[in-house]
A and B are shown apart, each in its own frame.
Chain A
């Protein structure tokens, strides 16, 4: 960045000199030139040089604490196994589990299960976004709705989603709809809240600037309120995803539909067969999927913050 700003700063005086010379008195042209030069000089000084670290360096500094954490977790697990607290067939160690995990991830049954679970996750999350945006949009817009539903939405977030399942099963039987119902109830409030907070915290100075420009009604939303609420909305999505994923896993353990194979089904089958190594493998997979998608939202969040200059 430092390079291209300095090279651009050399450019302005010759570019702008004809324009300013034309409309000021001839005697003032040198003064205008000097002003151009001084402004360009000040700009160059104030921007200074960026201290951008290289990608490899950044990746490594982000990755090594995570790797260290994984190693520590594995060591702790192994330590428990070594302590002889449980028999090895009840609690197998990492050395017995990882070959099983490898067998799993190379089997087609496993991938079918992951595919079904992910399909449910995506449909459920997409529906949650739709519901959350509509509710969040309405509640942030109308003060009466805010008073009526604001605390209810926050309250819903604290409700454990598993508590919804008895009702969901009564309403929808053991069906996809029952799972979807609970996933949406789990995720939509967070997404709605993210949007509401974003709209609420639109900086007043930007609203003033928008009004001076004549932004009103839909245009105000389109060009100011919605973009301004983006960071908060993404935070809501991130949290909503966590709730959706939890609700989905609870749902797949409780609502087992016919002969379908999902991660939840695999997990409860492994428990029925007392197959702990399989069980732990599935749990690792569930954890990893959750983390990966959470990280994707993290990347999105950081990208927005960087673009807006909210980071550093």
Chain B
């Protein structure tokens, strides 16, 4: 276990622990190595941003952690945490109302029928959509739909024992399709919910400033195959502003490193 060196020694517990994770698609000549020996920890309550150019296997990595796909090598340990995944698209079921979408997630978590409606109402309130329970997804704007998707993801981390620990939220460029104004507001929103619920977040993005705005730590991945290139701690107080000079200067440094990495592929 030489990879253990990369983990911070003080953290014995990790909400998500990846050790030497590799993932290949296809076989023979068409074999494509998407992830190569990725080792990464997300501490309980930590907000980690995964950053990389196209083809770095960010989404593949989240799929693996979410259990939608199997690793080719290595191990992923989520310590019985409840894992939820959110995509760039809201992916709400159009035939269900907003509340029914969330109630279905609660049902799948084993919440008894009587408890689902009030629980869904609480979750919608927490994303400031309490008044929209009876609407259908298409009646909402893109940002609102994404908040419903967030509420649904939170529903999947619900637990009757009410333990805030051990809930992992995986986010795959969740704000990538939104306009800047909405995105800024949702940054505040996700930060608030993350603190309130003590979530462990693994947040994938290709937007460097967004990563610095949100993360406790930014992990830079290389492309084809995806490897951990470097980790950047973000020692800034919250709340941060995406347009502050501190965020901008760290983002610039990370961008330089990212470009260097991308440049290797052009040679």
Contact = CB atoms under 8 A, between A and B. Distances in A.
Contact of A20 (B66, B131, B185, B192): B192
Given A307-B95, A308-B95, A39 B128 contact: yes
Nearest to B128: A39
B91 A205 contact: yes
Interface string B127-152: 01111100011111111100000000
A209 B146 CA distance: 13
A12 B91 contact: no
A227 B95 contact: yes
A209 B84 CA distance: 10
Interface in A205-233: 205-206, 208-209, 211-215, 219, 223-224, 227-228, 230
A23 interface: yes
Given A31-B239, A224-B93, A213 B128 contact: no
B125 A38 contact: no
Contacts of A87: none
Contacts of B138: 308-310
B172 to A, nearest CB: 10
B188 interface: yes
Interface in A20-60: 20, 23-24, 31-32, 35-36, 38-40, 42-43, 46-47
B133 to A, nearest CB: 10
B128 A308 contact: no
Given A12-B130, A31-B239, A308-B95, A47 B141 contact: yes
Given A20-B192, A24-B192, A215-B108, A36 B132 contact: no
B205 to A, nearest CB: 18
Contact of B136 (A42, A227, A309): A309
Contact of B192 (A35, A46, A209, A224): A35
Contacts of B136: 307-309
Nearest to B96: A227
B89 interface: yes
Contacts of B91: 205-206, 208-209
A302 B188 CA distance: 39
Contact of B87 (A32, A208, A227, A228): A208
Interface of B: 66, 68, 84-85, 87, 89, 91-96, 104-105, 108-109, 125-126, 128-132, 136-144, 156, 181-182, 185, 188-189, 192, 195-196, 239
Given A42-B143, A206-B93, A228-B95, 12 more contacts: A12-B125, A46-B143, A46-B144, A205-B87, A208-B87, A209-B93, A212-B84, A212-B156, A213-B104, A308-B95, A308-B138, A309-B139
Smallest CB-CB A-B distances: 10 pairs: A309-B138, A8-B131, A46-B141, A209-B91, A308-B94, A227-B95, A212-B85, A213-B108, A214-B108, A205-B91
